[in-house]
Structure 1
Amino acid sequence: MLVGSNSVARLISPRRLILTCDALSEDLPHDFVRIRIEFCGVCGTDRSFYLGHRDEGYPISLGHEHCGTIVAVGDQVTSYQVGDFVAIDPNFRCGSCYYCRKGAGHLCERATVNWYSNRGYANFIDIQASYLLQLPEYRSRHLGALVEPLSVAINATEISRCTLSDEATLVLGVGGIGTLLVFNLLETQDGEIWIYDNEHHKMAGLKDLYPSRIKILDGADDRVFSVVFEATGSSDGFVHGCARLAKLGRLIVVSRYHSDEPAVPDRLPWKQPNIYFVHLNGNGESFPKAAGLMKRRWGPDHDHLLSFHSLSDVDEVFSEYGSLPANKKIITME
């Protein structure tokens, strides 16, 4: 068994992440594996914790878009072996509760069960094998950190029943999840898409990749859309999405509102809209789909949308989050 120390980033109070040094246990539970984490994406939910919008007690470890290599396996684990490259779906599904039996494992009654030692901003994690997905060999290992958020984007797209070739479609907010929504839509369908973000450089990065298929929405333009994906993370984005929605339109809310729950605008019911709130990656079926799509379609040019930061700089990444130019930030443990 691999023993030694483990650097783990822990939030000890709002706006204060520190690295702690934990001893790695000599004992691994029978159904667990130990993973050397290689990359972990930065999610808006992590930032909500960092800002103190969510308080589940301190200290807590953050990071749930992680991938890495298995370095040890418990004696009851048969599906994985040392050396496997895996991504981690952080959502526990018991498989037997009412919601799991209904095919809604993301709403599992035992979803708060955490069978792992820490989350993804760390060198190692001990975790039950049921959370894992073996990944293909990518051209670069950092693509594994995009699998979990892409699975959320795929789930949102499937819920939307969006058809780009027939429906005017808008993505509001092209940070990490919005960027992956655009990627999924354009790489799996024909047609064009509209995007809007307060930070124009994020729109420009996507426009450079898909110059003939992306249209940038002018704030003065009053057009409406049949399908609106709201991924801004703010209640203002929700209000904007409602305003942009056509009659009988579909608003797909991917944002998680942690500090400013939005109110429904007065006149919205007159449009008779359909509003869907996307929770995590659904029942998990989108997770392997995301792994395959990342292998087939994410090319070197897409990497220009990413920035990479060392684990030792994780507090600076969160404190300077708004000034970092990339659409998606990734912490590297290398």
Structure 2
Amino acid sequence: MNKESFAALILQAPGQIELQYKERPAPGDRDVLVKVLYCGICGTDRHIYKGSYPATFPVTIGHEFAGIVEEIGQEVSHTKVGDFVSVNPNIWCGRCTSCLEGVPHLCSQMAALGVDLNGGLAAYCTVPEQLVYKMSPATNPAAACLAEPISCVLHGLDRLQVKAGYRGAVFGGGFIGQLMLQIMKLEGASEVILVEPQENKRKAAEKLGFVCIDPISEKHKLAALVDLDVTVDCAGAGDVLSQCAKATKPGGSILLFAAYPKGKQVPIEPFELFRKELKLIGSFTYPDTQVRAIRLIESGQLQLESLLTEITLEEVKDVLEGRLDQQLIKGIVRLS
């Protein structure tokens, strides 16, 4: 292995992941080469690994990452070597109807780093300049890699339109659910409850000051959870969507945020949506919220560090296969 080689985690096909050493790439004319400091592992990575989310193989997964610009292409004009950046992984075509109508995150030709192109679970990643966002060099890099999931949560809550004084509940206490709780509170919700069966996730939320319900051992509390202004499905499992409908008040809104596997069907009673005139709102990635996410990270208003566990590249497979679910909320890999 020469000094220009670097480690990368390659997903050859669903369920087939390998640690390889690759030659350091050179950026294209409009690209920057990012030396990755941290990369987060998320539910979408798990779906890609299991083959339930479309991706282009082989690929270096990982779309939540931040690092230092190591090299720039000849036509790069707004980014310089040494900049500390987070990355928006989504590349839009700019020509389809969605792009032209101002909703580029719904682009029909969208490609993404870590999904269709090599992403952040590698020491280096080539990134189009328009996808990098400068951050304060004083920012904790372990927090900086979370700009992408925080941006997604902000977009979802923008669609949900949480207002000051609202009462709400989040179903699912993974990292996204923990972000939802905190940001809903920042947006003025007077009460936000977590519904989560796993004890470690409830304890994490309780340490952040949130009331939690175990839907398995506390079914009476779940049944009493009614007349909420908003509910959020961050679980993507079982009958959670139906539980959200039961807990939401007439005229209220449900945010479907969980990435259910393609083709999966879940039970829900249409009459309840009809009779209560509920709004069922979908949310997919984000078009324009990364600057706000960076401000939240840099301001320190989100409690993030207690939710993070640093893992190695060799441990990523255990996370993707769910073997560490009882031990961590959010796994992040330190690359440099």
TM-score, structure 1 normalization: 0.89
Asked if structure 2 preserves the Cα contact closer than 8 Å seen for 1:33 and 1:72, the reply is: yes
Q: Does 1:216 align with 2:216?
A: no
Paired with 1:161 and 1:84, the residues of 2 have a C-alpha distance of 34
Paired residues, number: 324
Give the drift of 1:144. 0.9
Distance, in Å, in 1 between the alignment partners of 2:196 and 2:206 is 12
Q: RMSD across aligned C-alpha pairs, in angstroms? A: 2.2
Match of 2:333 in 1: 331
Cα displacement string for residues 200-220 of structure 1 (whole angstroms, at most 9, x for unaligned residues) = 22122122122xxx2223432
Contact conserved, 2:239 with 2:267, CA < 8 A, in 1? no
Alignment match, 1:265: 269
Change (3 A) 1:333 1:198: same
Q: 1:117 to 1:280 in 2, by over 3 A?
A: closer
- 1:112 aligns with 111
Aligned to 1:292: 295
Distance of aligned partners of 1:118 and 1:198 in 2 relative to their CA distance in 1, 3 Å threshold: same
Cα deviation for residue 298 of structure 1 reads 4.3
Match of 1:307 among 281, 306, 309: 309
Partner of 1:249: 252
Q: Is the 8 A contact 2:239 2:268 kept in 1?
A: no
Distance 1:6 1:146 in 2: 23
- 1:263, distance to aligned residue in structure 2 (A): 4.4
4+ residue runs of structure 1 moved beyond 4 angstroms?
113-117
Question: Aligned with 2:67: secondary structure?
Answer: strand
Specify whether residues 94 and 19 from structure 1 end up closer, same or farther in structure 2 by C-alpha distance, changes over 3 A only: same
Moved more, 184-193 or 227-236: 184-193
* Aligned partner letter, 2:313: L
Letter in 1 for 2:258: S
Q: Give 1:157 shift.
A: 1.2
- 1:234 is displaced (CA, Å) by 2.2
Per the alignment, in what secondary structure is the counterpart of residue 323 of structure 1? coil
- What is the aligned counterpart of 1:232 among 235, 238, 256? 235
Q: How does 1:1-334 map to 2 (within 5 A)?
A: 4-25=4-25, 27-54=26-53, 56=55, 58-112=57-111, 118-165=118-165, 167-189=166-188, 191-210=190-209, 214-217=210-213, 218-221=218-221, 222=223, 223-224=225-226, 225-258=228-261, 260-268=264-272, 269-281=274-286, 283=287, 285-298=288-301, 302-334=304-336
- Partner amino acid for 1:238? L
Separation of aligned partners in 2, 1:123 and 1:252: 36
Give the C-alpha shift of residue 96 in structure 1: 4.2
Distance 2:42 2:108 in 1: 24
Deviation at 1:158, TM superposition (A): 1.1
Q: In terms of mean alpha carbon deviation, does 246-255 or 183-192 score higher?
A: 183-192
Q: Gaps spanning 5+ residues in structure 2: where?
A: none
SS at match of 1:220: helix
Return 5+ residue gaps in structure 1 as ranges: none
When residues 56 and 158 of structure 1 are mapped into structure 2, their CA distance, relative to the original with a 3 A threshold, is closer
Q: Which moved more, 1:244-253 or 1:217-226?
A: 217-226
User: What secondary structure is seen at the aligned counterpart in 2 of 1:119?
Assistant: coil
How big is the shift at 1:83? 0.6
Please tell me the residue identity of whatever aligns with 1:304. S
- Letter in structure 1 aligned against 2:319: V
Aligned to 2:20, the other structure's residue is in SS state: strand
Cα distance, 1:188 vs structure 2: 3.8
Residues 305, 327 of structure 1: 8 Å contact kept:
yes
The CA deviation at 1:322 is 4.6
Question: Letter of the aligned partner of 1:295 in structure 2?
Answer: E
Cα deviation, residue 53, structure 1: 2.0
